[in-house]
Amino acid sequence: MSAPEAPLEPVSKASQENGSKIHFTKEVKQVIDKVLKSDDPMDAPDFNCVDYINQLFPNEQSLATIDETIQRMQCEVSLIDDNIRSVVRGQTNTGQDGQMALYEAQKVISTLYDHIIDVKTRAEKTEEMVKEITRDIKQLDCAKRNLTSAITTLNHLHMLVGGIESLEKLIEKRLYGEILNPLQAITEVNQHFQQYSDIEEIKNLSQSVDRIQVTLAQQITEDFKEAFLAKPNAGHQRLGLNQLADACKVVSVLDPKVKKELLKWFIAQQLEEYLHLFHENQDIAWLDKIDKRYAWLKRHLLDFEDKFGAVFPLDWEVSERITVEFCRLTREQLSQIMAKRTNEIDVRLLLFAINKTQAFEQLLSKRFTGVTLGHSNNTADKLTTPALAESSQGDGSGVINPALVVFHDQIGSCFKAHLDIYIKSIDRNLTELIEKFVEQAKEPLKVAEAKTTVYPSSADLFVFYKKCMVQCNQLSNEQPMYELAMVFKKYLREYASKVLEFSIPKLLTTSTSIGKSMSLLTRDMQNLSTAAGQVIHNFLKEGDAQRFSRDDLIRICCVLTTAEYCLETVQQLEEKLKEKVAPAYVNKVDMSEEKDVFHRIISSCIQLLVQDLEAGCEPSLQAMAKVQWQNINNVGDQSPFISSMCANFKQTVPILRDNLATSRKYFTQFCHKFVNVFIPKFINVLYKCKLTLSDGSNNVLGCEQLLLDTHSLKTALLDLPSIGSSVNRKAPTSFTKVVVKDMTRAEMIIKVVMTPVQPPAHFTQQVLKLLPDITIAEYQKILDMKAVKRVDQLQLIDIFKRTASTAAFASESTETTEINLDSNAAAGGELNTDSNLIADATSTENVTQVAVSAPSSSAIGSTSTPKRAFIFSVGSFTGGGSSADKSADGSTPAGGDRGRIRKLENLLKKRLP
């Protein structure tokens, strides 16, 4: 049976092969599958009829239904044929309908075209009819326009001729009030006839108009000069004020140059008296009488406006023009006279003149609009209102913002060339002020009365700086402000050196001795025992180290807090100067060097406080080194040298904390620096302690006592920031970490010393377990503490090197290898392992295992006392019991309990030597 043919579909991007089979693209097939969903196997593109038949009849028994299958197939074929026939017929009918629709559309278009042609023809006929009707109207309209233009021109011509004749008569009679309107009229008419200037008659009339304007300008100027002369010329009659007012209105119509020249002459005439009164040869012209200049202008303006205010139009702004010219003349006169008499100018006279000038400029800004200076009317309107002008004050200095003062620097700019006098005066005043501060610094400090640890002189200095900066900003924010900033920088350094550094107490002997001793300690690190002995010898020879008194410590704290205050205020000063100074100088204002100076003073003060507290611990460290640890036969309370250190802390630290209450961060920094210096020094002294008996064995009791003392010192150092304080404030976490880490290392050193050297492998493993980051030099120091002979040290050092290198390699290559630690061993830094783990001293495998099981530094750095340290601290119970032996109520355990604890201790020592 052959499969039915696939129905025909629109071919998109398909190609025909052999003219029988159609191939569709993948996209077309997907679309067909979406539209015509079918589960029929015959619709599949890879349909195989043989496989389909074998699927229907898999065996002979299935052939029994072959007739039914054939019948069903025939029905499906018939149904598909019917569908195809319907589709073909539908396509045929569609084509016929399209042809009919196209024919109808063509008919409609043809009819529409005919209709449009008809409309166009009618429109053309209508347009011809309209033109025929309006032809006469257009001719009449053109005639009307020409007639109107002729009549207008004739009227203008008549007006021009008549106006010229009447103006000549009025000019002769000086009737300026009647001249204004005809003059305006003929001026406008003359502009109308400019296009007919080629006509001789029109040209002559235009020249007559120009001649009239020139005659009026000359006549009015002469009339003004005659009116304002002190003595009138014979035969000339002065014009009245009303006539002069009319003349000004006439001038407003004339060429603007006439008004300009008239005002120039008039203003010069008004200020003629001023130039004579305040000539540079006159005493009244000097700066000390500068206010008389301004008083003269006030009186003159009042007199002028009273007498001649009605003469000039308001838009001429004659009073403002007189004022502007007065400012220009005053500026030039003052510049000339100051240049000639520079030696006579002092700062008081200069500031007096500047203040009077600024006040006068502000007054002018309130009185006038500034239109003649080119300022806008909006700004001028704001400044003419006194309330608004006063509200523009800034910085609380009571000075109007110069940007809103329209007359700003109209006179005052002449003083800028001499502002160096002001800067030099500020320099002299600051010199005297610093000398005064130096004298104050020599006086005894009374912190309790002042209720502050900051020197009052620092606040006085910056208050003076602020006043100078505000005053200089009023004078100029350009070069003088920059020079003032340089003066500020200079005297900040002066204050730092002459006041603050001078106030720091000096202990030359102490610093010299400590310096020599520290140089001995650091000169030969390989032979530390010899160097340490020499240091102790030097200290014994020099005696007790000198220390600062309580007042000296307070003074150092005051210097520190004052330097901190100066540092913060200098930052604000720099920002304010950059805000005030002109943009061209902003990048030049830099006070980083001055801030560095105060930073150095703060660091020096902290260093002195650290050295003082360290010097207080020096005798205790010497006493610690002198103790015969190998001869101690019992463990008691903490040693006297630890109590001495704690007493030193309680005596010194509260003074520093109270006086650095406002500088908490620097007190914390002091604590950090102290422990960073003191703990390494304590460890160096620890290396000098001899804990070995004459037979070469360790004195366990001495080690236990030293371990107890180390733990007590660790507790005291943790409590250092709040020692002696009524408020129990928690120490900073960073400080606690440093103390715990470094003091725990000291405890581990003692535990290593307590470990027997034999067998060497076990001893080396214990060292690496308790001190994972130990160096060879430190390892040798521990061997010196145990009094190991030099020959034996070489063998131990060789084993140490091999073990350490193997452990380092194992920790990198075998990260997955772990040994579970007992919880007690993890807290105390001990291993929970069998003794046979380290049976072979030369076994690399065993060494590797022990190295891998070494506890991390974080485990060693625990804040609690390691358990092994506690076991060893119970030590001996003969004699006085230690603080660890006492119960909560202060009583000591019973004798039986002591015996059981001793047995437990011996057992643990055998199990974990």
- β-partners of residue 23 are 15
User: What's the whole-number average pLDDT of the chain?
Assistant: 74
What span, in angstroms and rounded, lies between the C-alpha atoms of 742 and 718? 11
Asked whether the beta carbons of 838 and 762 are under 8 A apart, the reply is yes
**pLDDT tops 60 at residue 537:** no
Q: What secondary structure, in 3-state letters, does 748-772 show?
A: HHHHHHHCCCCCHHHHHHHHHHHCC
- Tokens representing 770 are 């308790």
Residues 6+ apart with CB under 8 A from 867: 824, 827, 828, 830
Q: What is the mean pLDDT of residues 595-623?
A: 92
DSSP 8-class letter at 400: E
Tens-digit pLDDT profile for residues 368-397? 887 877 764 444 344 333 333 333 344 444
Q: How far is CA 349 from CA 340, 346, 432, 708, in A?
A: 16, 5, 20, 78
**pLDDT tops 70 at residue 317:** yes
Tens-digit pLDDT profile for residues 563-598? 999 999 999 999 999 999 989 999 999 999 999 999
Asked whether the beta carbons of 411 and 358 are under 8 A apart, the reply is no
- Between these two residues, 260 and 844, which has the higher pLDDT value? 260
Asked whether the beta carbons of 635 and 875 are under 8 A apart, the reply is yes
Tens-digit pLDDT profile for residues 883-896? 334 433 334 444 44
- Tokens representing 378 are 């909006």
Q: What is the mean pLDDT of residues 751-764?
A: 82
Q: What is the mean pLDDT of residues 321-349?
A: 89
What span, in angstroms and rounded, lies between the C-alpha atoms of 619 and 543? 9
Asked whether the beta carbons of 736 and 754 are under 8 A apart, the reply is no
pLDDT attached to residue 506:
81
Give 859's pLDDT tier (boundaries 50, 70, 90): very low
Asked whether the beta carbons of 329 and 275 are under 8 A apart, the reply is yes
**pLDDT tops 60 at residue 72:** yes
Asked whether the beta carbons of 302 and 339 are under 8 A apart, the reply is no
Tens-digit pLDDT profile for residues 702-719? 888 888 989 999 999 998
Q: What angle do CA 119, 123, 126 make, to 5 degrees?
A: 140
Phi, psi of 13 (to 5 degrees): 55, 40
% of the chain at pLDDT higher than 90: 15
What span, in angstroms and rounded, lies between the C-alpha atoms of 188 and 152? 13
% of the chain at pLDDT higher than 70: 69
Q: How far is CA 709 from CA 609, 703, 747, 782, 808, in A?
A: 25, 10, 10, 18, 33
pLDDT attached to residue 603:
94
pLDDT attached to residue 66:
85
Range 234-248 burial, b when 16+ CB lie within 10 A, else e: eeeeebeeebbbbbb
Asked whether the beta carbons of 887 and 893 are under 8 A apart, the reply is yes
Residues 6+ apart with CB under 8 A from 585: 478, 479, 481, 482
pLDDT attached to residue 604:
93
Range 34-47 burial, b when 16+ CB lie within 10 A, else e: eeeeeeeeebeeee
Q: What is the mean pLDDT of residues 838-845?
A: 32
**pLDDT tops 90 at residue 817:** no
Q: What is the mean pLDDT of residues 441-466?
A: 83
- Between these two residues, 849 and 398, which has the higher pLDDT value? 398
* Number of residues written out for the chain: 913
- Alpha helices (runs of H) in 368-419, residue ranges in sequence order: 377-384, 386-391
Give 280's pLDDT tier (boundaries 50, 70, 90): confident
Among 207-211, 242-246, 468-472, 600-604, name the most confident range.
600-604
Among 220-224, 315-319, 534-538, 789-793, name the most confident range.
315-319
DSSP codes joined into one string, 602-645? HHHHHHHHHHHHHHHHHHHHHHHHHS-GGG-----S--HHHHHH
pLDDT attached to residue 679:
92
DSSP 8-class letter at 698: B
Q: Helix 508-523 vs helix 592-626: angle between axes, to the nearest 10 degrees?
A: 70
Q: What is the mean pLDDT of residues 339-364?
A: 88
What span, in angstroms and rounded, lies between the C-alpha atoms of 222 and 212? 15
- Between these two residues, 135 and 824, which has the higher pLDDT value? 135
What span, in angstroms and rounded, lies between the C-alpha atoms of 193 and 209? 12
373: left (phi over 0), alpha (psi -120 to 50) or beta: alpha
pLDDT attached to residue 545:
61
Q: What is the mean pLDDT of residues 734-759?
A: 87
